[in-house]
Chains A and B, each alone.
Chain A
Amino acid sequence: MGLLPDEIKAAMQGVIPSHVVTCAADGTPNASAISQVYYVDGDHVALSHQFFNKTKRNLAENPHAMVWLIHPETFDTWDLELVLDHSETSGPVFDAMDMQIEAIASMVGMKGIFKLKAADIFRVISVVKTSGERIRR
């Protein structure tokens, strides 16, 4: 079944941006927004990588990441502790992500310009629902 509950899938549709924190080898953390975290299976997620940025550079030095997700309807939030497992430039996960990016890019005339360079596959180490953050009416 895996660590990721079914209910988290809605938070992985990219409706509300997620956040990712990574850390360079020199110990400097980096906090960044990401459009979408992709569900791979019960124990894996993927981040898309279009530009070579600090997040990517940090992951090359240090595979740990913390990702924050929010559900677009219930507004529940989760912290996902992740470890980079490997990067893919082909295969079903890459293709599914690539297709989506290509479709949207084509709608704004950016086909070929905005494209998936790689799919970074992470192992989920822990999933914590942080509903304590929410003010419940």
Chain B
Amino acid sequence: MTAAADDQDPHVLRELIARSQETIDRLNLDLARRTNDVRIIQQISSEITSTLDLDEVLGIVLGAMERVLGFQHSMLLLAEPAGDTVVVAATRGYGRPSTDARVRIGDGVIGVVAERKALMRVGNIGTSLRYLQAIRARMQAAGQAPAGEAPAALPGLPDAQSQLALPLLVKDRLVGVLVVESAKPNAFDDLDEVVLRIVGNQAATAIDNARTYRMVDQLGRLKRFFSPHLAELIIRGGADDPLKTHRREVTVVFLDLRGFTAFAETAEPEEVMGVLREYHAEMGKLILAHEGTLERFTGDGMMIFFNDPLPVPDAGRRAARMSAEMQERVSPLTAKWRRLGYELGLGIGIAKGFATIGGIGFEGRWDYGAIGTVTNLAARLCGEAKGGEILVSTRLAGEIEDIAETEELAPLTLKGFARPVPAMKLVRLKPA
């Protein structure tokens, strides 16, 4: 536009005006697009922040990518608690969804974005790959084999040419990665980046809130069955999903109060509840302290097991120690109850074996259950135990003999067991 204009020459003038008009048209188009995008962003952000349901939030974000911003292929990956992968949580425009596909931090565009926590836009993936593959081939031919392996198939379009990936961050903590991609090279521009950054910011907070909400909700449910420490471990992914059916070798501890039935029939309801409350409180503290899993309690009976959902190397010893401490703890209680006129005593049975474990119940009411011979055995041993006694299956002898003094018993005839069961009495813990 610096050409000196002879403003007497209509031809030159017309040229100048034509060129100015082109520029104005282009700027207007740009402005219209920007204005439209601002409106879109406002709309999206109000939708995103309107819900705490994680799946809804993911759906809104990707729906916006497609319908409103025109990105045909998009994905949301969420950071895993363990911290070394991001997992595909939602996709749009792929036909076959690849949720649960994982990307290791540092692999490919998505992995590097997660690692560096910075946005990346690439428009020449095919060209770059071919270039590097050519170099790699020459290095191999020259005997300079590059050490690395290409990562296993990355989620998304198999031949994506363009990708725009941004980290979803809440105060520098990685929540996940938002990706849009295209089979065309150079598909995304500066304005796409700007828009995505803004939406990404909103999405990061909304997703983080929804995830936290979901975790707190789950934590509440899990805390009914597990110690808070264990519940948190499960949420964070340190233990497997306990409600999925699985088989595990567990050590089971069964307790109940001798004389409770008679007591419950004759005592006042308030007194019964009082005793139960005191009993549960004390037993509960010990279960938490030894990190056992409380599977159920029905009145005075309680079933606890070890090695699930969190595997532990010393399940038998924990069971033995907890049981000994329970007897110790209940002793002053039974003395107190005796003074009040109630003859109550704690019997404990311990057994070890395989059980099938998982969620039992129905929608809205799931319980954590264990089924197997081992639970029956522990219950029967408990039934045989007198007040103050701990009866243990001899299968545990090897495990506990160095921490507990035991006394062998004559094999017991137990209901539901065809042959007499060898058992021993746990007399006391050996001094440490």
| Direct A–B contact in the complex, CB atoms closer than 8 angstroms | yes
Q: What is the interface size of chain A, counting residues whose CB is below 8 A from a CB of the partner? A: 28
- A102 contacts the other chain (CB 8 A): yes
A-B pair count, CB < 8 Å, reads 94
| Chain A: CB-nearest residue to B118 | A99
Chain B nearest CB: distance from A50 CB in Å?
Answer: 9
| Chain B: CB-nearest residue to A10 | B186
Q: Assuming the A-B contacts A9-B189, A109-B149, A110-B146, are A103 and B124 also in contact, with contact meaning beta carbons closer than 8 angstroms in the complex?
A: no
One of A82-90, A111-119, A127-135 contacting the partner: A111-119
Cβ contact of B132, chosen from A36, A73, A99, A108, cutoff 8 A: A108
Chain A nearest CB: distance from B366 CB in Å?
Answer: 42
Q: Assuming the A-B contacts A73-B186, A95-B118, A103-B112, are A13 and B124 also in contact, with contact meaning beta carbons closer than 8 angstroms in the complex?
A: yes
Instruction: Say whether A107 contacts B186, CB under 8 Å.
Output: no
Instruction: Say whether A103 contacts B108, CB under 8 Å.
Output: yes
Chain A nearest CB: distance from B386 CB in Å?
Answer: 67
Instruction: Say whether B186 contacts A15, CB under 8 Å.
Output: yes
- B242 contacts the other chain (CB 8 A): no
- B120 contacts the other chain (CB 8 A): yes
Q: Assuming the A-B contacts A9-B190, A103-B108, are A110 and B132 also in contact, with contact meaning beta carbons closer than 8 angstroms in the complex?
A: yes
Of residues 128 through 175 on chain B, the ones whose CB sits less than 8 Å from some CB of chain A are: 128-129, 131-133, 135-136, 139, 146-151, 154
Instruction: Say whether B190 contacts A104, CB under 8 Å.
Output: no
Of residues 34 through 77 on chain B, the ones whose CB sits less than 8 Å from some CB of chain A are: none
Chain A nearest CB: distance from B348 CB in Å?
Answer: 56
Interfacial chain A residues near B136, Cβ < 8 Å: 108-110
- B388 contacts the other chain (CB 8 A): no
Interfacial chain B residues near A109, Cβ < 8 Å: 136, 146-151
Instruction: Say whether A107 contacts B131, CB under 8 Å.
Output: no
Interfacial chain A residues near B123, Cβ < 8 Å: 10, 13-15
CA distance in complex: A14, B111 (Å): 21
Instruction: Say whether B146 contacts A107, CB under 8 Å.
Output: no
Interfacial chain B residues near A111, Cβ < 8 Å: 106, 148
CA distance in complex: A92, B149 (Å): 29
Chain B nearest CB: distance from A96 CB in Å?
Answer: 8
CA distance in complex: A106, B127 (Å): 15
Instruction: Say whether A114 contacts B132, CB under 8 Å.
Output: yes
Chain A nearest CB: distance from B295 CB in Å?
Answer: 46
CA distance in complex: A36, B124 (Å): 9
Instruction: Say whether A107 contacts B124, CB under 8 Å.
Output: no
Chain A nearest CB: distance from B107 CB in Å?
Answer: 5
Instruction: Say whether A113 contacts B131, CB under 8 Å.
Output: no
Instruction: Scan A71-94; emit 1 where CB is below 8 A from any B CB, else 0.
Output: 011000000000000000000000
- A32 contacts the other chain (CB 8 A): no
Interfacial chain B residues near A95, Cβ < 8 Å: 116, 118
- B369 contacts the other chain (CB 8 A): no
Instruction: Say whether A106 contacts B149, CB under 8 Å.
Output: no
- B235 contacts the other chain (CB 8 A): no
Interfacial chain B residues near A110, Cβ < 8 Å: 132, 135-136, 146, 148
- A24 contacts the other chain (CB 8 A): no
Interfacial chain B residues near A104, Cβ < 8 Å: 122, 125, 128-129, 132
Instruction: Say whether B128 contacts A99, CB under 8 Å.
Output: no
**Residues of A in contact with B (beta carbons under 8 Å apart):** 9-10, 13-17, 35-36, 72-73, 95-96, 99-100, 102-114
**Residues of B in contact with A (beta carbons under 8 Å apart):** 106-109, 111-113, 116, 118, 120, 122-125, 127-129, 131-133, 135-136, 139, 146-151, 154, 185-186, 189-190
- Listed by A's residue number, 28 A-B pairs whose Cβ atoms lie within 8 Å are A9-B190, A10-B123, A13-B123, A14-B128, A15-B123, A15-B124, A35-B128, A35-B131, A96-B118, A102-B112, A103-B108, A103-B111, A103-B112, A103-B120, A104-B125, A104-B129, A106-B148, A106-B150, A107-B132, A108-B129, A108-B133, A108-B150, A109-B149, A110-B132, A110-B148, A111-B148, A113-B139, A113-B148
List 13 additional contacts besides A9-B190, A14-B127, A107-B108; criterion CB under 8 Å: A13-B124, A14-B123, A95-B116, A99-B118, A102-B112, A103-B111, A104-B129, A106-B106, A107-B154, A108-B132, A108-B136, A110-B136, A113-B148
